[in-house]
A = this chain, B = another copy of it.
């Protein structure tokens, strides 16, 4: 794993940071916090590949800050986003590796400046055995991911790209709470598993319909209604 470095911040301060997340603040059991203390804290630069296809990281990862994209890749360079990992979340991909022994073929890259805690397998196992709360958290995370990815299957299999794009835009605008979204067509294409050209065309039709306005590297929301009405009734 290139470009990683052990951060100056101590494991102790990690405990504080983690306590801020609702998921972990529930966990009082000492074996869990010991596991965290035993973990290495890593700062990862934006764009760094955290997990590369077929080369699993053997430790249990925990995101403290920033977001990580988990995605699949095709030979021709196309990609599709599986899900995102936000601060305070657990890398269940690691789990899949740990459990099955099979290095599963997905990739993970840091989307921005990311801090993670890397917990050795032994400590993870112990925390899992001794902390009911941690166990619940892991099961929770895992089952949520499964639900996410199942939903993704449904969308890819049955919904047109236009619908999926409309939903994605709606979601993103909702998150940022702004009417300007700083993103390139290429990035959107990578997220939806398609190509830039196709996406540009779709966006253009959205613009013609008055849903959005396009700028270089940015998309402006003009009419949320027009966008969401697209989702109900794909126009001619």
Contact = CB atoms under 8 A, between A and B. Distances in A.
Interface stretch (A18-26, A97-105, A218-226): A97-105
A106 B150 CA distance: 8
A80 interface: yes
A188 to B, nearest CB: 15
Contact of A158 (B78, B82, B152, B153): B78
What class of interface size applies to chain A in its complex with B?
35 or more
In the complex, the count of this chain's copies comes to: 2
Contacts of A149: 146, 149-150, 153
Interface stretch (A2-10, A137-145, A174-182, A205-213): A137-145
- 6 closest Cβ pairs, A-B complex: A74-B158, A72-B154, A96-B143, A157-B193, A99-B143, A80-B157
Interface of A: 72, 74, 78, 80, 82, 92, 95-96, 99-100, 102, 104-106, 128-129, 132, 135, 138-140, 142-147, 149-154, 156-158, 193
